[in-house]
Chain A
Amino acid sequence: MAIIERPVTTQGVEIAPPATPSRAQGGFKRPVSTTGWKSWLFTVDHKKLGIMYGVMAMFFFILGGLEAVLIRLQLAAPNGKVLSASVYNQMFTMHATTMVFLFVMPMAAAFANYFIPLQIGARDVAFPRMNAFGFWCILGAGIFINLSWFFGGAADGGWFMYAPNSGPIFSPSHGVDFWALGLQIAGIASLTGAINLIVTVLNMRAPGMSLMKMPVFTWLQLVVQFLLLFAVPVITVALFLLSFQRNFGATFFDVSAGADPLLWQHLFWIFGHPEVYILVLPSFGIISEVLPVFSKKPLFGYPFVVFSGAAIGFVGWGVWAHHMFASGLGPVSVAVFSISTMAIAIPTGVKIVNWTLTLWGGKLRFTAAMHFAIGLIVLFTIGGLSGVTHSVAPSDTQQTDTYYIVAHFHYVLFGGAVFGLFSGFYYWWPKVFGKTLNEKLGKANFWFMVIGMNMTFGPMHILGLQGQPRRMYQWTEARAGEGFFNLAFWNQIASIGSLILTLGIFLFIVNVIKTARSKERAPLDPWDARTLEWMTSSPPKEHNFDVIPTVHHLDEFFHRKYEQDPVTHEYKQIATAEEIMADQEAHADKHIHMPSPSYWPIVLAATLPVIMIGVIYSIPVAIVGGIFLVLAMFGWALEPSTAPETDFDPPASEESTKELSPLV
């Protein structure tokens, strides 16, 4: 119920604030804490929510990583005994589900939440309460899906949950029910987040910031949000059909009842292929910020990067059936999707050329963030090339469901998405926490991750082309083969690699702890950055900007610091970040209105897992949850998003009401 979000005026006519805005409207007295756990639980501040998204995603990254290590331990030796066949199925299903829906997506959302408003010169997102609601939904979804481990076993049909594996015969536990219903909650989070961020980018840019002056990170996140907006409802339909089949006796994917199992595959991949761009484009955006800063050059061909990103967003809708080449679609479909898949390599290639040419001739600084960004270019290109081999349908038929596919998508998702996110950690850590991560540890972190990742996923190309099937639970010495193509050898290399990778992640955690304990503050502009988010204090104030900047250039902050000499065309520094900040503070807006914290986002989000548990175990529980859902919606709708003074108990003083509504 995001309809009644905030007071607005029509055509310059002032609408008086509601005459009797009492706390009875919202049902509760408003939360007012600005410190302690309550200030986090009820916050609507996009920066706090961004940090919360990040912490949550990091937790699930570690969880999904441990699942991956268990998979590799199982495959490290012949006749692996670490996991039973059933637990192994659950392990790879939950590894993928966790990494895709509970790590990369929320981590990308963390960056989007934190940096989009800062990059476009806004004080918050368009719908702050909906933002908080999205976070509590995805957290609820993560907990809900993982609860299934304790209630008879997790989902075990693979992350794409093909029929008949998703049906009650092959998956009798409640794992798939938890999975399907949990992903519905995650879908709500993605949908509200997408609407919120698109409106924010379209409507709340600082004066002068045209679309083509927007930082690339914001641009690519905008593309991602559009992909989410249109992809999420498709998986929603598929998950509803699956739940109706499992919980209410329908037969949508039951071949024995005359159903078509390809329906699931189509619905899933119409969502699933845009999804892979949803995962990787945020990282493309991050390194498109990092590379120019550490090359001391503007991004090469900014419009090309932007439009190729948009092109990926469009063409991404026309390639889904390349996941289904082996399902007997018929020659015409296969040919069409083959060609469209080859075509989508073009805009991706354009980006790689642009990044490389950004480095060309630049004054390169090899910081940890830069290491990860360059790592992305190289590793993603390898993954992209093996991806093109899948677009050739005859070759793909050979590779389908082998470790070659596993190698491919780990190169694009780990080498692409995850390296980009790590680049973002090192680049923006000083902005978010006011302290710089240790560079030496960061580089060690990078090298362990690069070596570990290539050792883990590189051999999988060989394993796959030799025919080792995906999701294979054990291999035997007798069938491992000999010589260079000995499967035992490459499986062991991959397992050792996964431990090195784990060590790399461990170094990152050590780095975070070390940095948190260090007293050393980061300088205001540690990287000599180019975009608006660096024109704030570190960490930024609650209202982000003392005065909303007027934008004249792409890379506005850079152009405020440097001026081009008209004769020599060299850039000279004309101001330091400190001077620009001091100037901002001197001209600070007197009355800055920020949205007020609210109980409703967390209350509303909490009803969803209750309803879902009810759907699985007992319908009356679902009905009770539903009643609370409706009540919470009314509470939300009736609560003004900007608190009137009478909402506070005790009534707020003049000082604390100065933070009221943001810019509508």
Chain B
Amino acid sequence: MSDVAVHEADHGTQGHTTTTGLSNNKVGMWLFLGSECLLFGGLISTYMLYRGRVSAGPRPGNVFDIPFTSVSSFILLMSSLTMVLAVSAAQNRDDRGTTLWLSVTALLGATFVGGQVYEFTAMYNEGLGFTTSLFGSSFYTLTGFHGVHVTVGIIMLMSLVGIIKRSTIPGDKAEVVELIGLYWHFVDVIWIVIFTLVYLIPA
């Protein structure tokens, strides 16, 4: 960490160098994501403890449609690519490109959430409700929390598109796009962990 922070005199400018050289918003976002790791850590632990406890209803191996979820996982991972393109466009001050790639990212995310809704419905029809078994409760809680995170991400992306179109965003657009990008990538990375532990490794 740098010992000397350069502080310019405040002469009406908004910009000041921070002690670390990173913007407050970015450090704040990284801290928040660090905290989120523990949130998902707790949820994943709960699922790992309970995935074999099936007092009634179907077992994990019987309800998962791995090819289907693989496709929707792939779609979610691709949304990280489009998010990178959005950040890159924002840094080049390309408003059209930014809104385009943000919209594509949101669309891919929405496809993933749609897939999750379809998957939940199919599982419910096969007899796995939220309260059917400990496996059911912990599965829906874990994937549900992830789905809510993706949904919140989609809302943020769409809000950002609207804001950029009306160009009323306070502050630096590129950084805001980047921050939401950090969140989006985090949610994707968590899904890789969940997909591996929940779907791919047999209980």
Residue contact B42 to A664, C-beta cutoff 8 Å: no
| Min CB–CB distance A229 → chain B (angstroms) | 5
| Min CB–CB distance B26 → chain A (angstroms) | 9
| Min CB–CB distance B165 → chain A (angstroms) | 14
* Chain B residue, CB-CB nearest to A26: B170
Residue contact A126 to B28, C-beta cutoff 8 Å: yes
Q: Tell me the complex Cα distance, A195–B167, Å.
A: 29
Pick from A10, A15, A634, A663: contact of B10, CB under 8 Å: A663
Residue contact A238 to B31, C-beta cutoff 8 Å: no
Q: Tell me the complex Cα distance, A642–B14, Å.
A: 10
Residue contact B50 to A3, C-beta cutoff 8 Å: no
Q: Tell me the complex Cα distance, A203–B19, Å.
A: 4
Q: Which residues of B contact A663 (CB under 8 A)?
A: 7, 10, 16
| Min CB–CB distance A271 → chain B (angstroms) | 9
* Chain B residue, CB-CB nearest to A21: B170
Q: Which residues of A contact B15 (CB under 8 A)?
A: 8-9, 12, 14, 664
* Chain B residue, CB-CB nearest to A231: B38
Interface residue B197 (Cβ < 8 Å from any Cβ of A): no
A window 382-418: CB within 8 A of B: none
Residue contact B141 to A3, C-beta cutoff 8 Å: no
Q: Which residues of B contact A6 (CB under 8 A)?
A: 14, 24-25, 170-171
Given contacts A4-B170, A230-B38, contact A258 B134 (CB under 8 A): yes
Interface residue A531 (Cβ < 8 Å from any Cβ of B): no
Q: Which residues of A contact B6 (CB under 8 A)?
A: 207
Identify the stretch in B77-85, B95-103, B107-115, B174-182 within 8 Å (CB) of chain A at 4 or more residues. Answer: B174-182
B window 100-148: CB within 8 A of A: 130-131, 133-134, 137-138, 141
Q: Which residues of A contact B201 (CB under 8 A)?
A: none
Pick from A4, A244, A260: contact of B171, CB under 8 Å: A4
Q: Tell me the complex Cα distance, A252–B25, Å.
A: 37
Interface residue B39 (Cβ < 8 Å from any Cβ of A): yes
Interface residue B12 (Cβ < 8 Å from any Cβ of A): yes
Residue contact B159 to A229, C-beta cutoff 8 Å: no
Q: Which residues of A contact B39 (CB under 8 A)?
A: 233-234, 236-237
Interface residue A460 (Cβ < 8 Å from any Cβ of B): no
| Min CB–CB distance A261 → chain B (angstroms) | 12
Identify the stretch in A289-297, A332-340, A441-449, A587-595 within 8 Å (CB) of chain B at 4 or more residues. Answer: A587-595
* Chain A residue, CB-CB nearest to B43: A237
Residue contact A208 to B3, C-beta cutoff 8 Å: yes
Interface residue A348 (Cβ < 8 Å from any Cβ of B): no
Interface residue A574 (Cβ < 8 Å from any Cβ of B): no
Given contacts A3-B180, A4-B170, A9-B14, contact A548 B7 (CB under 8 A): yes
A window 615-638: CB within 8 A of B: 630, 634, 637-638
Given contacts A249-B131, A664-B14, contact A195 B31 (CB under 8 A): yes
A window 232-259: CB within 8 A of B: 232-234, 236-238, 240-241, 244, 248-252, 257-259
Pick from A234, A244, A634: contact of B38, CB under 8 Å: A234
Q: Which residues of A contact B138 (CB under 8 A)?
A: 252
Interface residue B193 (Cβ < 8 Å from any Cβ of A): no
Residue contact A19 to B134, C-beta cutoff 8 Å: no
Q: Which residues of B contact A260 (CB under 8 A)?
A: 49-50
What mask results when residues 586 to 621 of chain A are scored 1 for a CB within 8 Å of chain B, else 0?
000111110000000000000000000000000000
* Chain B residue, CB-CB nearest to A630: B155
What mask results when residues 19 to 60 of chain B are scored 1 for a CB within 8 Å of chain A, else 0?
110111101110110111011011100100110010100000
Pick from B20, B23, B134: contact of A8, CB under 8 Å: B23
Residue contact B20 to A238, C-beta cutoff 8 Å: no
What mask results when residues 556 to 598 of chain A are scored 1 for a CB within 8 Å of chain B, else 0?
0000000000000000000000000000000001111100000
* Chain B residue, CB-CB nearest to A198: B31
Residue contact A5 to B137, C-beta cutoff 8 Å: no
Q: Which residues of B contact A12 (CB under 8 A)?
A: 15
Please count the residue pairs between chain A and chain B whose beta carbons lie under 8 angstroms apart in the complex: 199
| Min CB–CB distance B27 → chain A (angstroms) | 5
Residue with the highest number of chain B CB atoms closer than 10 Å, among A194, A642, A664: A664
Interface residue A168 (Cβ < 8 Å from any Cβ of B): no
Residue contact A18 to B35, C-beta cutoff 8 Å: no
Q: Tell me the complex Cα distance, A439–B131, Å.
A: 61
Pick from B20, B42, B50: contact of A237, CB under 8 Å: B42
Residue contact A237 to B46, C-beta cutoff 8 Å: yes
Q: Which residues of B contact A211 (CB under 8 A)?
A: 1
* Chain B residue, CB-CB nearest to A252: B137
Q: Which residues of A contact B176 (CB under 8 A)?
A: 3-4
Residue contact A238 to B131, C-beta cutoff 8 Å: no
Q: Tell me the complex Cα distance, A208–B175, Å.
A: 27
Interface residue A661 (Cβ < 8 Å from any Cβ of B): yes
Residue contact B159 to A634, C-beta cutoff 8 Å: yes
Residue contact B169 to A18, C-beta cutoff 8 Å: yes
Interface residue A20 (Cβ < 8 Å from any Cβ of B): yes
Residue contact A229 to B42, C-beta cutoff 8 Å: no
Q: Tell me the complex Cα distance, A101–B162, Å.
A: 40
Residue contact B24 to A664, C-beta cutoff 8 Å: yes
Interface residue A357 (Cβ < 8 Å from any Cβ of B): no
Q: Which residues of B contact A202 (CB under 8 A)?
A: 1, 19-20, 27
Given contacts A19-B167, A591-B10, contact A233 B42 (CB under 8 A): yes
Q: Tell me the complex Cα distance, A5–B25, Å.
A: 7
Residue contact B171 to A207, C-beta cutoff 8 Å: no
Q: Tell me the complex Cα distance, A637–B46, Å.
A: 34
| Min CB–CB distance B55 → chain A (angstroms) | 5
Interface residue A224 (Cβ < 8 Å from any Cβ of B): no
Given contacts A4-B176, A257-B55, A637-B159, contact A18 B43 (CB under 8 A): no
Residue contact A267 to B179, C-beta cutoff 8 Å: no
Residue with the highest number of chain A CB atoms closer than 10 Å, among B1, B36, B175: B175
Given contacts A25-B168, A234-B42, A237-B39, contact A251 B24 (CB under 8 A): no
| Min CB–CB distance A216 → chain B (angstroms) | 18
Q: Across chains A and B, which 9 residue pairs bring their CB atoms closest together, nearest first?
A: A237-B42, A9-B15, A233-B39, A640-B170, A203-B18, A7-B171, A250-B137, A233-B38, A249-B131
**Given known contacts A6-B171, A203-B27, what 6 new A-B pairs fall within 8 Å (CB)?**
A4-B171, A8-B15, A195-B32, A205-B5, A244-B141, A661-B14
- 18 contacts across the A-B interface (CB closer than 8 A): A2-B25, A5-B28, A9-B13, A10-B175, A25-B168, A126-B28, A127-B28, A191-B32, A194-B31, A194-B35, A209-B19, A234-B38, A237-B46, A250-B131, A591-B11, A641-B170, A664-B15, A664-B23
Interface of B toward A, CB cutoff 8 Å: 1, 3-7, 9-16, 18-20, 22-25, 27-29, 31-32, 34-36, 38-39, 41-43, 46, 49-50, 53, 55, 130-131, 133-134, 137-138, 141, 155-156, 159, 163, 167-172, 174-176, 179-180
Interface of A toward B, CB cutoff 8 Å: 2-10, 12, 14-15, 17-21, 25, 126-127, 191, 194-196, 198-199, 202-211, 229-234, 236-238, 240-241, 244, 248-252, 257-260, 263, 267, 548, 589-593, 630, 634, 637-642, 661, 663-664
